[in-house]
Amino acid sequence: MKAFVALEDGTVFEGRGFGLEGEKEGEIVFNTSMTGYQEIMTDPSYKGQIVTMTYPLIGNYGVNDEDVESGGPRVEGFIAREFSRITSNWRATGDLGDYFRKHNIIAVDEIDTRALTRHLRVRGVMRGIISTTDHDRDSLVRKAQGSRGIVGVDLVSGVTCGAPYEFEDGPGGDPAVDALHCVVMDFGVKRNILRILRQKGCRVTVVPAGTKAEDIIAMRPDGVLLSNGPGDPEAVPYAIREIEKLIGRVPIFGICLGQQLLGLALGGRTYKLKFGHRGANQPIRETATGKVYITSENHGFAVDVDSIGGQAVRVTHINLNDGTAEGIEHEKYPAFSVQYHPEASPGPHDSYGLFEKFRNMMESSRKEGNA
């Protein structure tokens, strides 16, 4: 089945359809991870995006029911050099082709992903179309140019939960009666974040992105976690307003989009990166110690820390590839965030300590409240 990938700048790649027939628009991005394709597909942060995998063979270990980060795939489409037709892994419960068809994902392989990635690195990520039904190159380019993109678009509302719920999955067991209570603002949260909070002994309540600050405070949380999520942070002003009201009232920990929203709530600005950080090999330096972490990331926007005026905020982590702020912390209030995913464990587990830091903040806050 012939398929095409068309970019808004007129570049077109021809390949083979693998999965659902049809057509899909989205922002064309690339991810440099060698494994984890199922986690990537189900990460709500990829809403609105068509993901290109730079590793040449995708799908050889199949899919299973455990390596998912949400209720199902969130990507708009998937591109690879080769999708494996052979599945070989003791944990596999299915193959990738069936997974694509079951979840209505349009996928294309036999694409020169090296050339596509190099093009995006030079020109920047851009709007695009993948199609197995329209083979007219000029038509596809026009469709790509007319697609909406993600700048200024609220993608969070399409991935957040519909109502508050208690998260009870994972190996943490039933939390103690006096367990720390963490409220997670769901902007597209990954399940492993919730699992780790449970492992740390927390009772976890997940609330929709538009939940009012006063309603969160009424839940008597020991801390609030601002989750990861998709798209342009400035397109969710309703969340920014409520986060601003929470600062100084309860310990806050932001992850990925959560960092961007925290930065905006502190009065700063965000900006779009040329091609973003997406992969499991991003080198991050901790400013206080000089220690370097290898991290997993997925974001296309960053916080302009210099734009945060009138607030005592320091940069805690820096991306060694481009110098962007990968972590910030308020020097007066118990609020900090990181741009990368400390729950993702791309080999090392070094960043798990951030969850312990958050727990310590919550414990200190509780003690002060009881004093």
Active-site entry in 119, 317, 330, 341:
341
C-alpha–C-alpha distance, residues 156 and 151, integer Å: 13
Active-site entry in 256, 297, 317, 326:
256
Do 239 and 185 meet the contact criterion of CB atoms below 8 Å apart?
Answer: yes
Active-site entry in 297, 326, 329, 343:
343
Task: Please list the residues that pair with 325 across neighbouring strands.
Answer: 318
Please tell me the number of Cα atoms within 13 Å of 217 on its side-chain side.
12
Tally of CB atoms within 10 A around 245? 14
Do 9 and 28 meet the contact criterion of CB atoms below 8 Å apart?
Answer: no
Question: 132: helix, coil or strand?
Answer: coil
Angle between helix 257-265 and helix 237-246 axes, rounded to 10 deg: 70
C-alpha–C-alpha distance, residues 22 and 77, integer Å: 11
Q: Residue 341 catalytic?
A: yes
- Where are the extended beta strands (E) located within the chain? 2-7, 12-17, 23-31, 49-53, 57-58, 77-79, 82-83, 106-109, 126-131, 165-167, 181-186, 203-208, 223-226, 252-255, 269-286, 292-304, 313-319, 325-330, 335-338
Tally of CB atoms within 10 A around 285? 18
Do 222 and 182 meet the contact criterion of CB atoms below 8 Å apart?
Answer: yes
Do 252 and 222 meet the contact criterion of CB atoms below 8 Å apart?
Answer: no
C-alpha–C-alpha distance, residues 77 and 270, integer Å: 26
Active site residues: 256, 341, 343
